[in-house]
Amino acid sequence: MGRADLQLHSDLGDGLSPPEAIVDAAERSGLDVIALTDHDDIRGSFQARDAAARSGSDVAVITGMEVTTRSGHLLALFIEDEVPMLRPIAETVQLIHQLGGLAVVPHPLSYLTFSVGERVLRELAARPETQVDGIELRNPSYAGRVRATRAEWLNEHVLHVAATGSSDAHHASLVGSAWTEFDGTAAADLRRAIEARATRPAGRRWTLKEHLDGAVRQQYRAMLHDPAKRVWRRYVRGGTKG
């Protein structure tokens, strides 16, 4: 079975480690595939992919990002273009699919971070064109596992999409602490497994020390530095288009 970590954050966003260090950590962790998914910013995933190619790494890098929708965060995987932030989630799912990507819900139902809730997931599942492709059912953080049992029930009885696992690591030392298992080792194998709903989440929980390590600096980046950067990039892009 292959192993993929589908939610990672670099210092181009609210993480603490550069993309190159994340690729190195993925190699040390024995991962086959990773997705670097900075908030509303695809650049880090391109840098990670380039770094893996330069070093001849065995780790395949999926390009993607964590999109902020009006209803919560959404992972956009296997995309080459940036997905705009702050749009309705149904519209965002459709756009991800139009770009050739897959939409996966991270830390579902969580009240400790900006997450997609049960009502919205039920609404998306009611229409084939807005159904997500996967839901993260293994996340080692407190925020990621606070509603895990309910999310598992919802997927089993309502959504019926691929179950994934991700570390949601914001610094390199936690890369690979949770993962998605799939048949094969390549990125294409992972995609087929997600589409066939044949993945399995796995991993461990973070310790309290791991939660606190770098927490102050990371929260500063998450609450102040990274949102300001994203708003500025959105403003500049809007001005350029105008």
Q: What pLDDT is attached to residue 236?
A: 63
pLDDT-above-90 percentage for the chain: 80
CATH class of 2-241: alpha beta
118-125 and 89-98 helices cross at what angle (nearest 10)?
A: 50
Q: Does residue 218 have a pLDDT over 70?
A: no
Cα Dmax for the chain: 49
What lies within 8 Å, CB to CB, of 116 at 6+ separation is: 69, 71, 72, 73, 74, 89, 105, 108, 109
Q: What pLDDT is attached to residue 207?
A: 86
Cβ(55)–Cβ(182) below 8 Å = no
CA distance 113 to 129: 26
Q: Considering the chain, what is the average pLDDT of its residues?
A: 91
> What value does the mean pLDDT take over residues 209-220?
64
Per residue in 188-212, pLDDT tens? 999 999 999 999 999 998 888 877 7
Q: What pLDDT is attached to residue 26?
A: 98
Domain boundaries, the chain: 2-241
- The single-letter code of the amino acid at 67 is V
Cβ burial, residue 194 (10 Å; 0-12/13-18/19+): buried
Q: What pLDDT is attached to residue 126?
A: 97
**92-110 core/surface letters (b: 16 or more CB in 10 A; e: else):** bbbbbbeeebbbbbbbbbb
CA distances from 232 to 2, 41, 229, 238 (A): 39, 12, 5, 10
- The order of strands in the sheet holding 60-69 is 162-165, 134-138, 102-105, 72-77, 60-69, 33-36, 2-8, 178-182, 200-203
Q: Does residue 59 have a pLDDT over 90?
A: yes
- Provide the β-strand partners of residue 182: 2
Cβ(85)–Cβ(234) below 8 Å = yes
- Read off the pLDDT band of 120 (50, 70, 90): very high
- Read off the pLDDT band of 5 (50, 70, 90): very high
CA distance 144 to 136: 9
Q: What pLDDT is attached to residue 101?
A: 98
19-28 and 43-55 helices cross at what angle (nearest 10)?
A: 50
- Read off the pLDDT band of 214 (50, 70, 90): low
Q: What pLDDT is attached to residue 211?
A: 74
SS3 39: strand
Per residue in 136-173, pLDDT tens? 999 999 989 999 999 999 999 999 999 999 999 988 99
Q: What pLDDT is attached to residue 242?
A: 42
Q: Does residue 133 have a pLDDT over 50?
A: yes
